[in-house]
A and B are shown apart, each in its own frame.
Chain A
Amino acid sequence: MLGLLRDYGREPGEFLHEMLRAFLIETPPLMANIERLVEDTAFGPVARLAHRLKGTSGHIGALRFAAALGEVENLAATAVGQATASATATARIEFDLAVAAVQSLLAGA
């Protein structure tokens, strides 16, 4: 996935870096929103937001995080409260790992 992103933009790698930086800036509030909404048992918005964030993370190759969000989405869609909370906790772990990986990629660039 990252190889594909390298091909976009005016200069090689330029767009990839733009997407990685955007991930670091735009996704933490979304992840925090998911966690807050899970606490509020607002499962409809949780499913939708998890779905959206799943697409975002897939585009930068954060596939484990995307899979974890897919689980959150599915559970939230069926309003399974405890399981959704558990899946969200797993997604948080994967999210932190993804953020660290992206930071490492940007630092090494």
Chain B
Amino acid sequence: MIQQLSVEAAPLLDAPLSKGSPRQNPPDVEAGPWSGAQSPAPDVDLERPTRVLIVDDAPSTRRFLRGVLDYCPQFDVAGEADNGASAIVMADALQPDIVLLDVSMPVFDGSSALGGLLGVAPKARVIVLSGMDKSKAEALLAAGATAFVPKGLAPFELLERLCGIVGRPLSVERTAPIESSPVDTAELIPQAAPRAVICDDDGMARRLVAQVLAKCDVPVIAETDVVPNLLAVIELARPELVLLDLWLEGTTGTHALPTIRRISPGTVVIVYSSHEDWMNKALASGAAAFVAKPHCDELEAAVHRLAPRPSP
């Protein structure tokens, strides 16, 4: 039995809030180092976008990756392939700077395609993007892949890692909408049973979200209506899942997202808000998904899709 924390908030209307500019872009963020990243390519051309070939058999994953990359002017998606054989043909024709390569694919998988890709596009950096354990990707790294990036990262974290690998600073400027991360739970490597924290200043919304989570068999360990309490609980409990409203007392959930990522990188944040004009910023700031209120059925689907699950 998990004890539910009760986190009370300050009165709602102590101080007036000014509504922030909904279209304001997040500030530029320096890409940080990460385990497994190679040093930046010495010949990286900062004057033009890095051209990317996406190779994945799942259309939803390709769509997601394109959406994320479209958000970042440093990248230009040159093409997509749904199997290794097509990828080699396209890499030969397109000569991309990087190839995002899934491993498990029908017809001609990533392992089989790696040698061919490097053969036809020797300057390309092949980044293995897979749900497999990194230890299993060692053979691919030894065979010439530049880096391994796990699937299931939030859009912002994915961009940050890719920028780190190619040695470019990250900025997010485009306004094309990013779809919710189509994380395939079968490909994820769960770290723990999911526990959730709810942050919403609307008590009725919190009750509803708690019901949604109960239906998804995700226990709620804390509810709060302000960001400082949320951050305190996250630091203490490192929950697997956070359900976050955006317009909160004192600060916005959007501003909290980078902090959540920093103090608990494994926490999946689903934003549940009626501020649809803040969706892009929330996703670019680290939210795994944005669900518009009052669509609690879509929230339920997002929880089913994104909540990390224990191994069977």
Could you list which residues of chain A lie within 8 angstroms of chain B, going by C-beta atoms?
Answer: 1, 4-5, 7-9, 15, 18-19, 22-23, 26, 33, 37, 42, 44-45, 47-49, 51-52, 54-56, 58-60, 66, 77
Q: Which of A1, A45, A55, A66 contacts B205 (CB 8 A)?
A: A55
12 contacts between A and B (CB under 8 A): A4-B297, A22-B207, A23-B204, A26-B203, A37-B13, A44-B17, A55-B274, A56-B202, A58-B293, A59-B208, A59-B294, A60-B204
In Å, the complex CA distance between A59 and B16 comes to 25
CB of A54 within 8 A of CB of B17, answer no
Least CB distance, B165 to chain A, in whole angstroms:
40
Tier of interface size on chain B: 20 to 34
Q: How far is the CA of A58 from the CA of B199 in the complex (A)?
A: 18
> Which of B18, B204, B215 is packed against the most chain A CB atoms within 10 Å?
B204
A55 close to B203 (CB less than 8 A): no
Among residues of A, the one whose C-beta sits closest to the C-beta of B18 is: A44
Chain A residues near B16: list those with CB within 8 A.
42, 44-45
Chain A residue, CB-CB nearest to B16: A44
Query: Are A48 and B247 in contact, CB atoms less than 8 angstroms apart?
Result: yes
Interface flags for B15-54 (1: CB within 8 Å of A; 0: not) read 0111100000000000000000000000000000000000
A33 touches B13 (CB 8 A): yes
Whether the Cβ atoms of A58 and B294 lie closer than 8 Å is yes
Please determine whether B17 and A56 come into contact, CB atoms closer than 8 angstroms.
no
Contact between B204 and A51, CB atoms less than 8 A apart: no
Cβ-Cβ contact count across A and B, 8 Å cutoff = 70
Given the contacts A19-B208, A48-B247, A58 and B297 also touching, CB distance less than 8 Å: no
**A56/B204 in contact, CB under 8 A:** yes
B85 at the interface (CB under 8 A from A): no
Q: Does B296 contact A (CB under 8 A)?
A: yes
- Counting from the closest, the 3 A-B pairs by CB-CB distance are A44-B16, A58-B294, A8-B211
Q: How far is the CB of B198 from chain A (nearest CB, A)?
A: 14
Cβ of A19: which chain B residues have Cβ within 8 Å of it?
204, 207-208
B202 lies within 8 A of A52 (CB):
yes
| Most central of B12, B17, B205, B294 by chain A CB within 10 Å | B294
Residues from chain A with Cβ under 8 Å of B19 in the complex: 44, 47-48, 77
Decide if B233 is an interface residue (CB 8 Å cutoff).
no
| B212 located at the interface, meaning its Cβ lies under 8 Å from any Cβ of chain A in the complex | yes
| In the bound complex, CA of A7 to CA of B297 (Å) | 10
CB of B201 within 8 Å of the partner chain = yes
B296–A59 touching, CB < 8 Å: yes
CB-CB under 8 A from A55, the residues of chain B are: 202, 205, 245, 274, 293-294
Residue of A nearest to B245 (CB): A55
Per-residue A-contact encoding for B190-230, CB less than 8 Å = 1, 0 else: 00000000000111110110011011000000000000000
Residue of B nearest to A60 (CB): B204
Shortest CB-to-CB span from A3 to chain B, Å, is 10
Asked if A48 and B17 sit within 8 Å, CB to CB, the answer is yes
Q: Given the known A-B contacts A33-B13, A48-B247, A59-B296, are A22 and B204 also in contact in the complex, defined by CB atoms under 8 Å? A: yes
B201's partner among A18, A37, A52, A54 (CB-CB below 8 A) is: A52
Q: How far is the CB of A16 from chain B (nearest CB, A)?
A: 10
Q: How far is the CB of B225 from chain A (nearest CB, A)?
A: 10
- Complex-state Cα separation, A47 to B19, whole angstroms: 8
CA distance A12 to B211 in the complex (A): 13
Which residues of A sit under 8 angstroms from B212, Cβ to Cβ?
8
Smallest distance from the beta carbon of A71 to chain B beta carbons, Å?
A: 14
- Shortest Cβ distance from residue A45 to the other chain B in the assembled complex, whole angstroms: 5
